[in-house]
Structure formats: structure tokens, C-alpha cells
Amino acid sequence: MKIAQIAPLAERCPPRLYGGTERIVSYLTEELVRLGHDVTLFASGDSRTKAKLVPCCDMALRLNPSVRDPLPYHMLMLEQVRRCADEFDVLHFHIDLMHYPLAASLGRMVTTLHGRLDLPDLPPFYAAFPRYPLVSISDSQRRPLAFANWAATVHHGLPEDLLPFSANPKEGYLAFLGRISPEKRPDRAIEIAARAGMKLKIAAKIDKADEAYWDGTIRPMLASHPNVEFVGEINEHDKATFLGEASALLFPIDWPEPFGLVMIEAMACGTPVIAFRNGSVPEVIDERVSGFIVSNVDEAAAAARRVDLIDRAEVRAAFEERFTAERMARDYLDVYRGLEGGLPGVMRPPARVGNGIDLEAMA
């Protein structure tokens, strides 16, 4: 197929450091190329890809100090997409909703929503656009917009050889990997390790917005918990060792995480995941196969003590079966082919969703 992938411009594809959406767009793009498809990637000019790259700005916007407003660059990207839209069998958007006014003049298109959807601005928007197909990254993510035109859920996937399987984690610590932020709950991770009597390593970045939380909550906890080691932000290369040498990953989230990439990164290393029941967790973790799903700190500490019950080879097998980039790409190809028969079935939106707009009446 001739496929266009339209990525956000905040980070390059793949990102240098952080940037979940651009990372997934990159994995998907490279895998579609590997499977023999003709792929064009609309992304920042410093992206690296085996697809055809259409550069939509010189460098990723978040790292460019002269950029004040990302909107003009995304509008420019949409104009570039519009001018050659006819050349593609399908256009796959990853930029939330900026392309919607243009959608009527495009051919077959689908949009993956990568973020959380429980924001009050979104129901009136998607109610007004019932015709354009959406992909969720977990079933859980859909809940606030259950009425929207969902074509599929496609879970994220990683290149199979990105993170090597680690059969015997010599160090045997608990691992926390992500951001130091209240919804990721590193405080819970520290409590879990203390109750389990185990060592914890925290590899995390501290965003400007979370500095008060770091100074007021987490740093004092570190001072009083000598079993916890804070290793700071780590790069992609160090991730394999950090996750592979852990006896389990702690994922004690306190928010409806739409996917949670770090869970499948751990699984790729064979490392079981101890995750709080929230968001996508029950869809990603198979209880007692790839980890334990828990509801509180006590359950998590008990799970940490029982982690040897999990066969690390089975964790890796679960990753290979369900969370490779190839599986993700094949799922998306099914979605693309499903669009060939025209737009998928249109669900009627609620007559009025919290907003004075009635586009149907204008149609």
C-alpha cells in the first residue's frame, strides 16, 4: 500500500529523548517499510527513517529555542499533506484533531489518538465529526468518548530486537522508570519496596512542572529510605540494562494511563510488571503470566515477594506474541484495508453534547 504517516513535530521520529507519540510513529513507519509497503513520513526534518521523509520543519520543535508557537508548523505540514493526498491509499494522522477541517477534502484517512481523552473540550468535538474513523491505543482510553467512531484498538508495539531478553537478573531490584510526577506515584513505589524489604532503583526525569513535587515529597522520602537509589534520566541504550537487571517493574499509576509503553519495554526484557489496576493495565498485563495487577500498596508488596513465581521466558513470549512492532503494523494494515469499503459504520453521536453546536442541522 501507499501509506502516509503524519507525526507531531514536537520531537523528531524517533525522539532523541522523551516523546511517546513520535516513538510509536517511528516504530510503525519502519515496520511498514520492512513489510514492503511504500511509506511516506511527514515529520520534523531531523527525523531518521527508511520511508520517504517529507520534512515539515528543520528540527523538532521542542528542542528548537527559536520556536514560540507550534501551530504554524503543523498548519504548514497539513498543507503539504493536502497537496499530495491523492497519491496515497491511506493517510494515517497522529496529530490529534488539527487536520479535521481538512478531512472532507482528503481521501481515506484514519486518526490514532495517543493521549488521554477525559477532557471536557473533546466530546462536543468528536460528536460533531461522526464520520471520521479513530483508533484507540487501548479500550480503556475510549471510555470518555465511547460514542465516537472507533475503527479499532491497536496496542503499541516495539521492534522485536529493541530490548534483549534477560533470563537471570543478577541484581534483582525493583525498578521504577518514567517521570517523577504525582500521577505516576513514585511515592507508592518507595513504599512498596520498603514493605517488601527490597531494593528499588528509580530512573526518571523531573519536568519543570514537577519540581515542587520532587522537592516536597520524593526527595525527603529518598533521604529516609536507604534501600532506594535514584539514577536520574536514562537513555534508550541504558534502558535495556536497567529493565533487564530488575526482578520486576513497578507501575503504581494513579491515573487512566492510555497505554503505558514502559510495561511492554519491561516485558521485552522478560521482566514482570507489578501494576496498579488503572487505565490500560488490565489489557496489557496478563495476570501471573506477565506480572501482577494490584489495587493497593500491600498487594503490590506481596506481589513483589512472589515475583519468582513468574517465568521470565513467558513474559518475553507474551511480549513477542502481543506487543511487537510487527503485530502493531499488521493490525494497522487491517485497519487501512477495512477503510477500502468506504468509511466504516457511522455511530450517531448524542444529539447535543454540552455545546451549542449542531453540525448535523447545517449539513
**What is the contact surface with a second copy in residues (CB under 8 A)?**
45, 55-58, 66-69, 71-73, 75-76, 78-80, 82-84, 97-102, 104-105, 119-122, 124-125, 128-129, 354-357, 359, 362-363
Provide the 8-state DSSP code for 105: T
Helix pair angle (186-196, 297-305), 10° resolution: 50
**CA–CA distance, 72 with 213 (Å, rounded to integer):** 34
Shortest spacing between CB 79 and a second copy, in angstroms? 5
Shortest spacing between CB 281 and a second copy, in angstroms? 25
Shortest spacing between CB 317 and a second copy, in angstroms? 41
**Toward a second copy, which CB reaches closer, 45 or 159?**
45
**Toward a second copy, which CB reaches closer, 55 or 159?**
55
Cell 524517533, located at residue: 14
**Toward a second copy, which CB reaches closer, 102 or 194?**
102
Shortest spacing between CB 55 and a second copy, in angstroms? 5
Task: Report residue 170 CA to chain centroid gap.
Answer: 29
**CA–CA distance, 51 with 26 (Å, rounded to integer):** 10
User: Under 8 Å CB-to-CB from 302, ≥6 apart: which residues?
Assistant: 196
**Toward a second copy, which CB reaches closer, 113 or 269?**
113
Strands 2-6 and 38-43: parallel
User: Under 8 Å CB-to-CB from 214, ≥6 apart: which residues?
Assistant: 180, 206
**Toward a second copy, which CB reaches closer, 125 or 165?**
125
Shortest spacing between CB 286 and a second copy, in angstroms? 35
**Toward a second copy, which CB reaches closer, 197 or 354?**
354
Buried (b) or exposed (e) across 29-50, using 16+ Cβ within 10 A? bbbbbeeebebbbbbbebbebe
CB 62 within 8 A of CB 10: yes
Shortest spacing between CB 156 and a second copy, in angstroms? 24
C-alpha cell belonging to residue 149: 467512531
Shortest spacing between CB 162 and a second copy, in angstroms? 29
Among residues 146, 128, 120, 123, which one has the least CA distance to residue 358?
Answer: 128
Shortest spacing between CB 28 and a second copy, in angstroms? 23
Tell me which long-range contacts 281-285 makes (C-beta under 8 A, separation of at least 24): 281/251, 281/253, 281/257, 282/140, 283/138, 283/139, 283/140, 283/155, 284/138, 284/155, 284/259, 284/260, 284/323
**Toward a second copy, which CB reaches closer, 342 or 356?**
356
CB 289 within 8 A of CB 315: yes
**Toward a second copy, which CB reaches closer, 87 or 298?**
87
